[in-house]
Structure 1
Amino acid sequence: MPELPEVETVRRGLLKIATGRKINGIDVYYGKTITNDVEDFRQSLIGQTIETVDRRGKYLLFRFSNQLTMVSHLRMEGSYYSQPVNTPVDKHTHVVFKFTDGTELCYRDTRKFGRMTLVKTGEEMTVGGLKTIGPEPTAADFKVEYFQKILHRSRGKIKPFLLNQRHVAGLGNIYADEVLWMSRINPEQPANSLSQAQVQTLHDNIIKELSIATKYKGTTVHTFKNAFGDAGAFQDRLNAYGHGGDRCPRCGTKMVKIKVNQRGTTFCPHCQPLMEKTND
């Protein structure tokens, strides 16, 4: 599933290929992609202009000129691309927005899990996971005091805690492994057992790692590509994720891959030992 850096990379591409374009037709080939009534969806957007595209966590927010917002979640393998109008599409392209400038914005999804929901602008936070989404992982929104407070309430393991979008927006399996490796924290460490110093380090590394990954236009492990069909470049900088059996780049110990709450998880047993709870 695309995580925050990948979705932000898609958003920046959409700003170039979609904003300012006026829609004069919409083809829907797989109706379940649209959670609204499909014909209502079409009629609400034909004749409207995409004014901008925002993002909240892993959700894209298309802002239209008639004060409507389309909430788009890419799920596992959803992607957007542009092409000249009336160009043939493959069987995995499910929605096509036709623009008056002779281009099309196409939504492609081999797994068919992605969804689009049209709501009045201002009501987007009532949609799905946006209702309970946590703060953006930035210095302005993600405060260490908040992080420490919610960590100390949790008896669960730190890895699934980080994957819960209620706690902090945008982290997925890739970057959770990375920030835990950076912070020298075992993925099975109880969340409420982290010391104040560990909380601060983990907090700072979450902000730092997601910012750097966004700079490198995300990670391509399986199929992720941006709006121009290009792969990300951050996969060449991963230290933990996908490196089970390799040597830890920090200490040389063989990295171990396990399952934590059914999610593949890679860590260094030397750098990230399971620690007893401290009292600081």
Structure 2
Amino acid sequence: MNKFLYTIIAVSMTLGAYAQKSDGSTKSLVKAEKEFAEDLAKHGAKTAFTTYSADDALVFRPNPVNAKTFYAGQGDDKGLSWNPVYAKVARSGDWGFTTGPFTADGETKTYGQYLSVWKAKEGKWELAMDLGVTHNKPLNKVEPLFIEPKDFYKPKFAGDKQRAAGVDIIATTEKTLNTMLKSYGAAAFAGFLNPDARVLFPGYEPIIGKDKALAFFNGMVKNMTLKTTKANKADGGDLAYTYGVATVDYRADLRESFNYLFIYERQADHNWNLIVQVFAPAER
């Protein structure tokens, strides 16, 4: 066997033996995320992403591509670092998300924010989706907020038919949002954003809070169109995500396309509100 390939396999087996364990808690997800960052710093991007990514994981570089396919052709760069500051796991423990700041060393240092979705499989966390945006060196510090599930709930008889029905609810919610955006512009977000919503947008530090997010959208965006690629809902029925392509018409008479990832949370009134949004530039 090729000596380099043997080394990669041996390191991956070693990392996998100690990392990524899932017990359905946000704490275990944050631990997996931090171990992922530590292992990248030690062994490089190719090894770390190969170890931690699900077989069907997507990374946006800038458009969506299979994570393992992409990193198979990359070097083992150790210049990327990040730290989660906000995370939640669904009450069914089947998936969760983390977001926080990252830095990338190169000719010049790059700063930004990432959003990652993780799925639990056979007792361990696997990276399912990862994308991010860049901005200038941050001036504001965001306090960590790791929210544990309020309880554990997973339907005993959750089959493909029931999951598909749940996904349809999320797809319909986003379809309604898209219709409202076409009719009322960015002001339509007022009916969909949670009070603690976070927006990650290129060139800006995290925009936290519904009022600040609405002021940001209304001040800059004239119209927006969403083309949903996929929706997914946790078995516990409390969290969901969608991703796709957003076409933004700015008030400055410019148009730009973004890959987006939205995290939704079910509210007490059974409506689904946006709690995290990221818009990453798309390559057309």
* Same structural fold, with TM-score higher than 0.5 when normalized by the shorter chain: no
TM-score (normalizing by structure 1): 0.25
TM-score (normalizing by structure 2): 0.24
